[in-house]
Structure 1
């Protein structure tokens, strides 16, 4: 089987971390590597990020519009950490009609009954258990946990060491910060942000920022 080209949107640290997942998936493949990391696209990468890409050994292909010139078999992954920005970038990328893969780091654990839309990225050490549903371009970062019966809407991010307890609903574009905990059965509204280290003990309304223990 031939390797498929994959392009990362976003030259920053989050994008490069996702590129390491691609490399890890290739390294764990029993046969031919599934992916050829073709490069990154970014409208205006900083000089620092250009140098880091050079050291990383993967080229910057040009602005996002370059995607329109690539073969239709090229896959695209959104290497954008901020859910709101990721959603905006997706609106620009979708008209090109290029598929987005589900990427799961070999050192992550994902339940066999996970249901996910395109673009899910699961980082090293993450744990997703049973009967979890994930929407488009959800990112579950390093060592985060998503427990049983959770529903993660499109563009949700769970940052490193974040814990989402069982039977929770995270609506579109919501974010659980690093080391934060969402207690069982709660709902995080669309566009809401749970600050790093917070403990959520009640539902969070849409477009709200909560922090602290308990989160307010």
Structure 2
């Protein structure tokens, strides 16, 4: 049976605990050992905090990222990899992965998500409830899709991108690395790297 630890003890950790329960509902395949977080006060009520992430090297367990911000997912994941740990991918029983689609290590696909045929999902991608990744699209590493976000067919999402709740990236559009698409925004044209867009159609927000 797979042994799992969650890196980070915030709200996402509780969501992951529920995901594991749902995965185990029919056949028990993995066990949550606990949470690694330097801030013990941030502990989820349902899960013990074992200590800091430095303990990961001594545990015989795979890890999942319990942090949602893309940059933080990258930093925490890279540190875990340097410690020699293995990233676990978790897929909810009610998520769907199409024929020919690939999902990278450490990805989390929550309830009601769909990854359509031919899509590529990178490392440590968080696909939140009821989000859709269209056919033949590419989603880079350390990307977070909030609830009900949609990536259109053949779209390209760069690394460390944040798609807000209900955001839509239309077919064939590209979103550059480290960009943010606001909640409810509709991306109809390419978004450069390091850009925050919002609205319908999505437009860059002024920088300060």
Q: TM-score range by the shorter chain?
A: over 0.9
Q: Among 40, 56, 60, which residue is 1:67 paired with? A: 56
State the match for 1:143 in structure 2: 130
State the match for 1:95 in structure 2: 82
1:163 aligns with 2:158: no
1:85 aligns with 2:72: yes
- Partners of 1:39 and 1:112 in 2: how far apart? 34
State the match for 2:206 in structure 1: none
1:35 aligns with 2:30: yes
State the match for 2:63 in structure 1: 76
Following superposition of structure 1 onto structure 2, how do residues 41-56 of structure 1 map, counting pairs within 5 Å? 41-45=36-40, 47=41, 49-50=42-43, 53-54=44-45, 56=46
- Partners of 1:81 and 1:144 in 2: how far apart? 15
After superposition, give the CA deviation of every residue in 1:141-198 in whole Å (9 maximum; x if it has no partner).
0011111001011111111011111000001111111011111001000000000010
1:14 aligns with 2:21: no
Larger proportion of helix: 1
How big is the shift at 1:116?
A: 2.0
What is the TM-score of this pair, normalised by structure 1?
Answer: 0.90
Figure out how many residues of one structure are paired with residues of the other and give that number: 203
Alpha-carbon contact 1:28-1:106 (below 8 Å) kept:
no
Which consecutive residues of structure 2, in runs of 5 or more, have no partner in the other structure?
A: 204-208
State the match for 1:114 in structure 2: 101
How big is the shift at 1:23?
A: 1.5
Superposition RMSD in Å:
1.1
Which consecutive residues of structure 1, in runs of 5 or more, have no partner in the other structure?
A: none
Could you say what secondary structure the match of 2:24 adopts? Answer: helix
Alpha-carbon contact 1:6-1:77 (below 8 Å) kept:
yes
How big is the shift at 1:108?
A: 1.2
Following superposition of structure 1 onto structure 2, how do residues 174-213 of structure 1 map, counting pairs within 5 Å? 174-213=161-200
- Partners of 2:7 and 2:181 in 1: how far apart? 25
- Partners of 2:121 and 2:50 in 1: how far apart? 30
1:215 aligns with 2:202: yes
